Amino acid sequence: MAEHEYGAHQIQVLEGLEAVRRRPGMYVGSTGSAGLHHLLYEVVDNSVDEALAGRATRIHVILHRDGSATVDDDGGGIPVEVHPQTGRSTVETVLTMLHAGGKFGGGAYKVSGGLHGVGVSVVNALSEWLEAEVRRGGKRYRQCYSRGKPTTELECVGEARSTGTRVTFRPDPQIFVETDFHYDTVRQRLEELAYLVAGLRITLTDERTGQREEFRFEGGVRELVRAANRHRKVLNDPPFHARRERDGVDVEVAIQYNEGYVEHMMSFVNTIPTTEGGMHVVGFRSALTRVVNDYARRQGLLKEPEGPLAGEDVREGLCAVVSLKMAEPQFEGQTKTKLGNTEVKGIVESVVGQTFWDYLETHPVEARRIVAKAIQAMRAREAAKQARDLVRRKSALEVSTLPGKLADCAERDPLRSELFIVEGDSAGGSAKQGRDRRFQAILPIQGKILNVEKARVDRMLNHEEIRAIITALGTGIGQEFDLAKRRYDKVILMTDADVDGAHIRTLLLTFFHRYMRELIEHGKVYVAVPPLYLVRSSKRKRYAYSEEELAAALKELGEGSEVQRYKGLGEMNPEQLWETTMDPARRTLIRVELEDAEEADRIFRTLMGEEVEPRRQFIVRYAREVRHLDI
């Protein structure tokens, strides 16, 4: 008999919510900040479903001092009677069983964001404790749980003058590496929901800080695109808006163009953000491209030798919302980031095609502005293609095509090599001398690179430093980006720890976010952390990366020690740069992560866009949170 015989006794059966606690990432995406906030959103989505069903008009979210959160609505309340299939109260059934809810049969909810039916039970499973309170039939009921298991029976605890559900829970520190809700992250999602469900009143209270805000937008998604464009010059105001129902699908669209160059697309299904798009986005883009081309031809704005306008031309400067409400969406995964229903493409394409054509016909001034911008984008795209051909890397082995300033490494396997993008020729020289030539490549850049948030692609590709970065990496950019063609597995930004260095780092990150986002999404971009001080005694030395570390080093080595303050990377000799910032065994790298693409877009528009005031407000608000900055 084999030593490790495979038999029935080796098959584990996880009952109830045990599977959720064993594999939480399968249900909420991660055990980090994103998964933590996903818990809260699942509970909020249930309350939003009540609003979509016409039973709720307000939702109140409270962040408590002990790390717990409450979601309270004035909906119909979870039914309390004994469930015929489980023999337990419906409240307990919903909170302890996967795929138990009122969203499968189609009777209780016509549309719902929580269609997988695992939402609130997963929250219960991943919470240290949870308390559910239901107001229904003139009575108030309560039941408590610990890590998904009931600790009390469902009890009637008093009278109730209203109806609704109140859920309070504390995320389990045994599951989540972070258990503090971020006010700004929660605020953004609640504000978004208030735009998507016109007239719904949502309040957010943070008992930790005393902050309280209320969101209510009668204009719905029209106000959402206006808010997204509030710091930009727009081409059509008020925005285009249409809402139609076709084959049981409610399609709502808002479009407003601005003078910028970046597309800002927001898509939702039953108020759930579909950050990866899906068939509704495909249908929208197809209709938009066709309608603008047809209008431009019929009006003689697009001459015969030119065109047709490509989709990217038509979407330059576009800010749009596509919001669907439908009975049975097919999402990819529990996190619901992409819509797969193929029939939706034709429905959205038909609605947008008809309504946006009518809009262009009846708004000739705005229509001509939109077409003129698309034609300019087309001409810039053609110029960019010529420029792109100059920087496209033909082969990984054709070193002659690489930038002259690049000091490449000997390693040809991308998985074993890394590229340092270094601020300044002086620091670049030290880095070239101090590096490990076997696997570390150095690309010095001079001065502040172009702000791509304010520049078209053709201008960007004519910028020497950006061309050097694109050529060195070998991946291409934008739609032509191919991660598999990268020449290095790590891209490390190494700039001075001062204001200018932070600015250069932000410019570089703006470029990567706009044109090589997959590098960030796959965790390939890092920020190096150089020291601020060198503390020397007669026999020992210590590097300090902050004022606190400086104080500790002086205490350890003695106050009489010599202190050298580094104003920039160029003040370090090759040996110092290696041992503090480049040696894999001793260096500190911060990986750049993209948890919320929508929020990242907003921040880059704020920091690097044309308008000064929103940038000033952002800096004032977050100045106290800055780390690793030497002024």
Q: How far apart are CA 582 and CA 580, in angstroms?
A: 6
Neighbouring CB atoms inside 10 A of 378's CB total 20
Residue 313: active-site member: no
Cβ–Cβ < 8 Å for 369, 318: no
Residue 601: active-site member: no
Residue 399 tokens, joined:
């070193």
> Chain-centre distance of CA 365, in angstroms?
35
Residue 7, classified by CB atoms within 10 Å of its CB into exposed (0-12), middle (13-18) or buried (19+), is: exposed
Query: Residue 6: what residue type?
Result: Y
Tell me how many degrees the CA angle 340-346-348 measures, rounded to the nearest 5. Answer: 85
Residue 343: active-site member: no
Q: Is 63 helix (H, G, I), strand (E, B) or coil?
A: strand
Residue 276, classified by CB atoms within 10 Å of its CB into exposed (0-12), middle (13-18) or buried (19+), is: middle
489, 498, 583, 599: the active-site residue: 498
Q: How far apart are CA 447 and CA 49, in angstroms?
A: 52
Cα dihedral 273, 277, 283, 286, rounded to 10, equals 130
Q: Where are the beta strands (DSSP E) in 200-348?
A: 201-206, 211-215, 240-246, 249-257, 264-269, 272-273, 318-325
Edge to edge, the sheet with strand 418-423 lists 440-445, 418-423, 490-494, 525-528, 589-591
50, 128, 411, 496: the active-site residue: 496
294, 500, 518, 598: the active-site residue: 500
Residue 292 tokens, joined:
């603008």
Q: How far apart are CA 315 and CA 290, in angstroms?
A: 12
Residue 477 tokens, joined:
């950019």
42, 74, 423, 596: the active-site residue: 423
Q: How far apart are CA 112 and CA 118, in angstroms?
A: 13
The conformational region for residue 147 under phi > 0 = left, psi -120 to 50 = alpha, else beta, is left
Q: How far apart are CA 202 and CA 254, in angstroms?
A: 22
Strands 418-423 and 490-494: parallel
Helix (H) or strand (E) holding 301: none
> Chain-centre distance of CA 601, in angstroms?
8
Residue 149 tokens, joined:
């298991």
Residue 408 tokens, joined:
């490449």
Query: Residue 387: what residue type?
Result: A
Residue 596: active-site member: no
Show which residues are catalytic.
Answer: 423, 496, 498, 500
